[in-house]
Amino acid sequence: MNIVYLNGVFLPDTEARISVFDRGFLFGDSVYEVIPFYQGRGFRLEQHLQRLQHSLRAVRIHCELDWADILQALVTQNGGGNLSVYLQVSRGDTGERSHAFDEIMAPTVFAFCQPIRDIYQAGPDLVEPVRAIVTADMRGHRCDIKSTCLQPNIMVLQQARAQGAAEALQLRNGLLTEGTSSNLYIVRQNVICTPRLGSDILGGVTRQLVLELADREGIQYQEIDLDYEQLLAADEVWISSSTRAVVPVIEVDGERIGTGQPGPLWRRMYQLFIEFHHALMTGQSKDV
Ligand code: PLP
């Protein structure tokens, strides 16, 4: 049994109840975050909470809470350790189904934890490279909002899985955007290239860290438009997300990428993540 957080109360998951008229359930009218905690400490927590504020503001859900305190208490109540915290804020419940909403509503705030592996302890040799397919991006026009309206993402992910792939890289107006739950990078001639921020992609917290680490280490990067041909011709392809860090993609649409093995720049970036994580956990860095 897990302890979850629901509207100000910590309680067993089996006892948590949400109204059938909650707009998160009826309309997907809600936003969310997934935040890893290692040894009970949030990893890039502040950046996740900043993005939560961005999503809440964008959809005009008014909710100000001591997020860090709530999530830390939830993690502690679930025994600390290595956990990913899912946090969802929906616009709330009006006791009826109506598209229109009142500006002032009591949002539904729900959070729970799931155990995760400490990927940084495992090291790069234990990272499973993945295969991907490329599909049309069928999502709406505000992909910068971390909304729970994920049906287009799950449909194309399912298509990828049916083809023996682990991720679908999405293409919109001839340009690559991102994966269904990850940001995308290609490496060519030792330069990391990734689609620029905007309403076509989610501003990934891991993406931000990749670019910060590249900057710090003098690794060149570009935020630019990328198309299908550039993807297939890349030396390396990576995806990134909070619970997986950076993962090498070794095959796209059945075509081998580079040597067909995780590339040297990926290995270097993964090692930088491990060192960054280690510095956090041992208190050598204040960033959490
Ligand atoms: N892009 C999409 C569509 C996502 O859903 C996610 C994470 O779930 C990401 C990118 C990666 O974001 P982050 O690094 O903040 O986990």
What domains lie within the chain, and their CATH numbers?
Answer: 3-116 (3.30.470.10), 124-281 (3.20.10.10)
- The CA 165 to ligand 1 mean position distance, Å, reads 18
The phi and psi torsions of 200 (rounded to 5 degrees) equal -85, -15
The model's pTM is 0.97
The token pair that represents 168 in the structure block: 């679908």
Best probe residue, ligand 1, of 49, 142, 181, 208 (max atoms within 8 Å of C-beta): 181
pLDDT per residue as tens digits for the range 235-285: 999 999 999 999 999 999 999 999 999 999 999 999 999 999 999 999 887
pLDDT per residue as tens digits for the range 117-143: 989 988 899 999 999 999 999 999 999
pLDDT per residue as tens digits for the range 88-113: 999 999 899 999 999 999 999 999 99
177 Cβ closer than 6 Å to some ligand 1 atom: no
Instruction: Quote the pLDDT of residue 151.
Output: 98
36 Cβ closer than 6 Å to some ligand 1 atom: no
182 Cβ closer than 6 Å to some ligand 1 atom: yes
Q: Does the pLDDT value for residue 1 go beyond 90?
A: no
Instruction: Quote the pLDDT of residue 33.
Output: 98
Instruction: Quote the pLDDT of residue 156.
Output: 98
Point out the residues that are catalytic.
146
The residue whose CA has the least distance to atom 10 of ligand 1 is 182
Instruction: Quote the pLDDT of residue 242.
Output: 98
pLDDT per residue as tens digits for the range 36-51: 999 999 999 999 999 9
pLDDT per residue as tens digits for the range 44-93: 999 999 999 999 999 999 999 999 999 999 999 999 999 999 999 999 99
Segment 193-212 shows an average pLDDT of 98
Instruction: Quote the pLDDT of residue 287.
Output: 66
- The CA 278 to ligand 1 mean position distance, Å, reads 23
Average pLDDT, the chain: 97
Q: Report the percentage of the chain scoring pLDDT > 70.
A: 99
The residue whose CA has the least distance to atom 6 of ligand 1 is 181
Pairing of strands 191-194, 221-223: parallel
Instruction: Quote the pLDDT of residue 285.
Output: 77
